[in-house]
Structure 1
Amino acid sequence: MVVSVIRLFSDFIFTRNHPIDLLEEREKFIVDALRLAEDVSKNQTFNTVQPILNFWAAFTPSQESGVGVGGKPKNTTYGLYRPGTELRGVYYAKPEVAGAACSSMGNQCDFPILLGNDPLYGGLGGRYTVITSSIVNGPSILRHELGHSIIPVGEEYDGGEVYRGVDAYHDLSEPVPWAHWLTNPPEDGQSPRVERSVMPLQDYAWSMLNTSKPVDNRSFDLTVELDGVDLGWVPKEGLGVDRWHYDVYRDDALAGGTHEVKFTLLNADREGIAQLCNVEILEFGDENEFITTPNYYGVFPTYSVANKTSYRPTNEDCLMRLVTTSNFCKVCLEGLWHALLSKVSLIDGVSEGCSGKSKTLSVELIPLAQFRQVPIEPTESYTITWSRDGEVIEEFTNKTTLIVDGNGGATYTVTAKYVTTEVMVDKEGHLVDSMEYTVTGACEQ
């Protein structure tokens, strides 16, 4: 089967004097890689495209364990590191090593992933997707970063730097890129409605909290206040020291003037551990001005770290906006199908055989639609047509096997068209493939 491949490479420890450590670290890598692959491909996120994905794992030993900090990689194979101590991006210092590792796999490395041996939040999208083995955040970060790497798209959350791809809209005078998904399309000649929201505050503080100075995990360890009012922050249960995203909702609007957001650490034992990563305030119009209904597709403003405005398809229906969610929006999912099917053929091959005295041709397709092993909820189907000299052989439409008329030497064409409710527009023909086959001879009489 011709498939797109996601390959996970390790960046794990190897201690030369203790071979048992190598075995333990290799086992940890395999467990982590399998957990991540199954988490993102079963029942959510990549579930519907699963038949065109293979996950491979390649363990690579290193001299040191973990991910470097402060911009300094450890002595590991791919040199993974964080620019500072913040739990956000994890970068690689040795792209040439990653490239060589990927090239050594031939066509089994379409989307390489570097898996760092680090228990905390971090990742990166691009040619080499980077993630960590964080139990809490690893799967969600992998989903998000693969969105960057495969589809590819930029961010949908506010405060980012890159907004591009099928889920990004920049010029309201131009057609909406996802017009075919809009819940309420504008009438001809009308501009699309833009949902009303603003971003009064966006700050990547990356500040270590302390008890003596409030900064402009447990609920009794920290208070979060807005204009002196305790917002009732409650930490995620079982999080430990890893990073998490929290939303606090209020019904009242901010008045004009200066406001104060204050984070106060109450427990001195948490100093040196507790870190404020990022804080933002967003304001939204009322229900007539801003639609929060799930599965509503429209034009929603997104504000970059430089406070430049772009637009996204939904409020919070996409993991490219909310990293803690499990699914792409319809726009990104459609983009995922196009990205993957642009690299593979729906037709794995055509084989020649005999049925009694009759010559047959059989086509093998990627197991989607009626050939899928486990049925899925989205409606999907294959249409199969056989033709000779441009003439469709109607009686074998939607048949995987053709009974050949006559002796060898004739050339036949089989065409497979895939239809799914997850793809509404296919301008480049990614969902249609054809293959020619010339019959070699007749069956024995």
Structure 2
Amino acid sequence: MKTLLATSIVAFTLAASTGAYWNSRPYQLTLRRETNTISSCDIVSFGETQLHKSLLPATSGQIIRQHNAVPSAESLGDKEIIRFLSYNTNELWLRAQLECSNDLSFVGPSGLGGLETQVSFRDQGVLHGIMLDVPVPPLEVVSLLQSGPSNNRIDLAFFSDGYTMRERDKFLDDAMRLVTDLSSNQTFSTVRPLLNFWAVFSPSQESGVGVNGKAKRTPFGLYRDGTELRGLYANNSDVALMACASLGNKCNYAILLGNDPLYGGLGGEYTTTTASLANGALVLRHEIGHSIIDVGEEYDGGFAYFGVNAVHNLSDVTWTHWLEHQEDDANLFRAERSTMPMQAYPWTLLNTTQPWTISFLSSGNYARHLIKFSLSGFPDQDDLVILFDKVDLRWTPRKDIGVDRWHYDVYEDTSLSAGVHEISFVLKNNALEGSAQLCSVEVLEYGTEAEFNATLGHYGMFPTFSMDNDTSYRPTNDDCLMRSVTKPNFCKVCLEGLWLSLLKRVDLIDNFKIMCGDDRHRTFEVDLVPLAEFREHPVSSEERYTIAWSKDGKVLAQFANMTHVDVGDEVGTYHVDVQFSTEEVRVDKDGLLGASRSFTVTEPCL
């Protein structure tokens, strides 16, 4: 029989390849701040949180600041969430106070605030304290997919909205369908062992989501600003914030799932989406990509272009390690040649009396062009005629799309002539008036194949045009779901960013055990996050763990790549170093794919 070794004779140190970090958890203070000129704050929660590999030991007083917008129907919301992480609670509170116009030391309804809050939490062993005086509805938490302990995983929680008590099972089915879609294809399949998924049910008094800016009687009050299939907002944002905070480690990212069969969603501090069969998972992938990877858009006409998938100068490209022939290609940093002569977001209901028409000017200097548009409310091809310079494009709706929204591309391998061009959307079925909608339309022009490489899988510098027609650059033409919501996969640049973002908060070593056997031999066992050869479900990408053991600085080669070793009964300082490698990560400058343990044994087994 083996027993766990008494902790009095073993000293532990945790370390990442970038340096040591404490075995204890850092603290996190979450604030909700008004973004108007007042800048007053409310404390959402305070307590211990998961490790963050960018944090140095407690004595440094280092602080990490994170912020995110609270989703709003306004173009610029009036609230944001700010998080501070540190091992030094005094510095954490002092730094937070600088962000807010009001006094954070005020003792709120719970009797906890300022430095008194710190002492209370620590003395009472409370990991999470909830401060906002907002009633949280009853929450039934159901596990959907678990890969490990929540204190060492990234947890995504689906919250029900617009599901009545009778629709509880429908909610669980809808949430599980979305989880399966996310985790069973390239989007999140390879990082699945780093994730947990939960369904959190709260019954609604009414079924569905609100329209025309009016919420229904539901926990979070999800609604559409009008009737268009676009954003999905929460009338009860504070309830959403507190519901997630109340779950502690089980809610790193909140997803509000609306009981509605049509397109809708939004990203920010929490993500909203619907149960749409065609669009629910597509919206969710895209918005969660924003949240986890911390990147901006790749599609044209937006306002936020930042992160690993965007650069604004060809001399600052951050994905050169994904380019072919990067050392000897004279055209390495050339921009692919394209332009956007027209883009519009009409969000307009069509009628049979007058077509919706827009004109634009082409230079005539490009070899090819693409017409992009999105529609809702058109189940049949004969319901709508789309004319480009008075020629019928003969568009075809997606099969079984019904009245849901969908995006369409019409590619033409011909040059547009110099001058004015016109595109018209002509409604033919008057029965669809009041529901048939033109959401967006765009025209792109491309150079020749030598000037613009649209080959699937080609990485380069592809222009993206903002709402102000400013130019940034993305890694691929149309290979990424961050550009085209209908795509199921991230490009390699975003997928690498996903790995690195997740591994900032996940230790590759789940557990470490030291045991003494009846033969007085000491054994060490390291439990790793189930990647590489330890996966439950193998993946096609190449990956491996490399494990190295040492004693008093000398490598123990006989234990290479072993997770369970017998070292006899020798005292000394032992070290295990774990390195994970995957073809999906080519550059790990912060050493996030490594983990280690050092421990000193001072007495023999008894």
Corresponding residue for residue 86 of structure 1: 228
Q: 1:371-390 to 2 correspondence within 5 Å?
A: 371-390=534-553
1:328-353 C-alpha deviation (Å, 9 max, x unpaired): 00000000000111111000011122
Corresponding residue for residue 263 of structure 1: 425
How far does residue 296 in structure 1 lie from its aligned partner after superposition?
Answer: 0.5
How far apart, in 1, do the equivalents of 2:422 and 2:565 lie? Answer: 74
How far does residue 42 in structure 1 lie from its aligned partner after superposition?
Answer: 0.8
Corresponding residue for residue 154 of structure 2: 4
Q: 1:137-152 to 2 correspondence within 5 Å?
A: 137-152=279-294
How far apart, in 2, do the equivalents of 1:266 and 1:190 lie? Answer: 49
Corresponding residue for residue 70 of structure 1: 212
Corresponding residue for residue 345 of structure 1: 507
How far does residue 106 in structure 1 lie from its aligned partner after superposition?
Answer: 1.3
Corresponding residue for residue 532 of structure 2: 369
SS at match of 1:416: strand
> Are 1:186 and 1:192, in contact at CA under 8 Å, matched by a contact in 2?
no
1:303 aligns with 2:445: no
Corresponding residue for residue 229 of structure 1: 391
Q: Which amino acid aligns with 1:360?
A: T
Closer/same/farther in 2, CA of residues 50 and 153 from structure 1, 3 Å limit: same
How far apart, in 2, do the equivalents of 1:394 and 1:53 lie? Answer: 33
Corresponding residue to 2:326 among 174, 185, 193: 185
- The TM-score with structure 2 as length reference comes to 0.69
Corresponding residue for residue 193 of structure 2: 51
How far apart, in 2, do the equivalents of 1:302 and 1:154 lie? Answer: 12
How far apart, in 2, do the equivalents of 1:186 and 1:234 lie? Answer: 44
> Are 1:388 and 1:413, in contact at CA under 8 Å, matched by a contact in 2?
yes
Percent identical residues: 55
Corresponding residue for residue 18 of structure 1: none
How far does residue 82 in structure 1 lie from its aligned partner after superposition?
Answer: 2.2
1:165-193 C-alpha deviation (Å, 9 max, x unpaired): 10001112x33110111124265997711
Q: Which amino acid aligns with 1:226?
A: F
How far does residue 81 in structure 1 lie from its aligned partner after superposition?
Answer: 2.1
SS at match of 2:297: coil
> Are 2:520 and 2:568, in contact at CA under 8 Å, matched by a contact in 1?
no
Closer/same/farther in 2, CA of residues 232 and 184 from structure 1, 3 Å limit: farther
How far apart, in 2, do the equivalents of 1:272 and 1:198 lie? Answer: 34
1:210 aligns with 2:373: no
How far apart, in 2, do the equivalents of 1:144 and 1:303 lie? Answer: 19
1:241 aligns with 2:418: no
Corresponding residue to 1:117 among 240, 259, 280: 259
How far does residue 77 in structure 1 lie from its aligned partner after superposition?
Answer: 1.3
- The TM-score with structure 1 as length reference comes to 0.93
Cα RMSD for the two superposed structures: 1.8
Q: Deviation above 6 Å: which 4+ runs of structure 1? A: 188-191
SS at match of 1:260: strand
How far does residue 443 in structure 1 lie from its aligned partner after superposition?
Answer: 4.2
SS at match of 2:250: coil
| Greater shift in the superposed pair: 240-249 or 101-110 | 101-110
How far does residue 88 in structure 1 lie from its aligned partner after superposition?
Answer: 1.8
How far does residue 404 in structure 1 lie from its aligned partner after superposition?
Answer: 2.6
> Are 1:214 and 1:265, in contact at CA under 8 Å, matched by a contact in 2?
yes
How far does residue 162 in structure 1 lie from its aligned partner after superposition?
Answer: 1.5
How far apart, in 2, do the equivalents of 1:157 and 1:92 lie? Answer: 25
> Are 2:549 and 2:555, in contact at CA under 8 Å, matched by a contact in 1?
yes
Corresponding residue for residue 569 of structure 2: 406
> Are 1:12 and 1:60, in contact at CA under 8 Å, matched by a contact in 2?
no
Corresponding residue for residue 288 of structure 1: 450
> Are 2:576 and 2:597, in contact at CA under 8 Å, matched by a contact in 1?
yes
| Greater shift in the superposed pair: 227-236 or 187-196 | 187-196
How far apart, in 1, do the equivalents of 2:208 and 2:291 lie? Answer: 23
Q: Which amino acid aligns with 2:199?
A: A
> Are 1:184 and 1:298, in contact at CA under 8 Å, matched by a contact in 2?
no
Corresponding residue to 2:591 among 429, 432, 436: 429
Q: Which amino acid aligns with 1:378?
A: S
Which segments of 5 or more consecutive residues in structure 2 lack a partner in the other structure? Answer: 1-147, 358-377
How far does residue 256 in structure 1 lie from its aligned partner after superposition?
Answer: 2.3
The count of residues paired between Structure 1 and Structure 2 equals: 434
How far does residue 436 in structure 1 lie from its aligned partner after superposition?
Answer: 3.0
SS at match of 1:37: helix
How far does residue 130 in structure 1 lie from its aligned partner after superposition?
Answer: 1.1
Corresponding residue for residue 363 of structure 2: none
SS at match of 1:62: coil
Closer/same/farther in 2, CA of residues 214 and 191 from structure 1, 3 Å limit: same
Closer/same/farther in 2, CA of residues 288 and 382 from structure 1, 3 Å limit: same
SS at match of 1:364: strand
How far does residue 212 in structure 1 lie from its aligned partner after superposition?
Answer: 0.9
Corresponding residue to 1:102 among 223, 244, 247: 244
Closer/same/farther in 2, CA of residues 186 and 393 from structure 1, 3 Å limit: closer
Q: 1:328-339 to 2 correspondence within 5 Å?
A: 328-339=490-501
Q: Which amino acid aligns with 2:502?
A: L
SS at match of 1:395: helix
Q: Which amino acid aligns with 1:328?
A: F
How far apart, in 2, do the equivalents of 1:335 and 1:433 lie? Answer: 19
SS at match of 2:227: coil
How far apart, in 2, do the equivalents of 1:188 and 1:45 lie? Answer: 31
1:420 aligns with 2:582: yes
Q: 1:154-169 to 2 correspondence within 5 Å?
A: 154-169=296-311
Closer/same/farther in 2, CA of residues 404 and 180 from structure 1, 3 Å limit: same
